[in-house]
């Protein structure tokens, strides 16, 4: 059964204090691993897709990396506007090669203090 575990559940950082969020996953055949940002009361906002171990993607202060068992979202010199819940999700291949729904973790709630 597909499983996604995110840690920590909550993280408080001072502005400029870099850190990493972890996403451990178990999936029968990984088609993609996704990172989303979600602000309170809003829908998830797509950030990155990673497809294979060793892949890295960057966007502004965020960098996502992928291994065969986990993914990290590194936040460099965060600002208060980076405060949000960061969700990790996996998408598995089906036997027929199709891939459908996303399976989400419970997220990491990040607070960046000025």
Partner 1 sequence: DTGVSQDPRHKITKRGQNVTFRCDPISEHNRLYWYRQTLGQGPEFLTYFQNEAQLEKSRLLSDRFSAERPKGSFSTLEIQRTEQGDSAMYLCASSLAYKPEQYFGPGTRLTVT
Which CB, 5 or 18, lies closer to partner 1? 5
- Report the greatest alpha carbon distance in the chain: 50
Shortest CB 114 distance to partner 1, Å: 25
Closest to 69 (Cα-Cα) out of 47, 46, 93, 90: 90
Of residues 21-50, those binding partner 1 (CB under 8 A): 31-32, 34, 36, 41-46, 49
Closer to partner 1 at the Cβ: 62 or 102? 102
Q: How far is the CB of 13 from partner 1 (least distance, A)?
A: 20
- Nearer to partner 1 (CB atom), residue 20 or residue 106: 106
User: Is the sign of the CA dihedral 48, 6, 69, 67 positive or negative?
Assistant: positive
Q: How far is the CB of 77 from partner 1 (least distance, A)?
A: 27
Closer to partner 1 by Cβ: residue 10 or 77: 10
Q: Checking DSSP bridges between strand 108-113 and strand 10-14, what pairing results, if any?
A: parallel
Task: Take residue 68 and report the two structure tokens written for it.
Answer: 């065969």
Confirm if 87 and 22 have CB atoms less than 8 A apart. Answer: no
Site for partner 1 in 56-75 (CB under 8 A): none
The β-bridge partners of 106 are none
């Amino acid at each position: 059964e597909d499983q996604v575990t995110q840690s920590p559940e909550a993280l408080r950082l001072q502005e400029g204090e870099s850190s990493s969020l972890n996403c451990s996953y178990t999936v029968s055949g990984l088609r993609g691993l996704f990172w989303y940002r979600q602000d309170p009361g809003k829908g998830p906002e797509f950030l990155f897709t990673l497809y294979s171990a060793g892949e890295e993607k960057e966007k502004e202060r965020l960098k996502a990396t992928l291994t065969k068992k986990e993914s990290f979202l590194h936040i460099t010199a965060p600002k208060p506007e980076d405060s949000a819940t960061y969700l990790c999700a996996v998408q598995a291949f089906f036997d027929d090669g199709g891939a459908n729904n996303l399976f989400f973790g419970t997220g990491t709630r990040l607070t960046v203090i000025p």
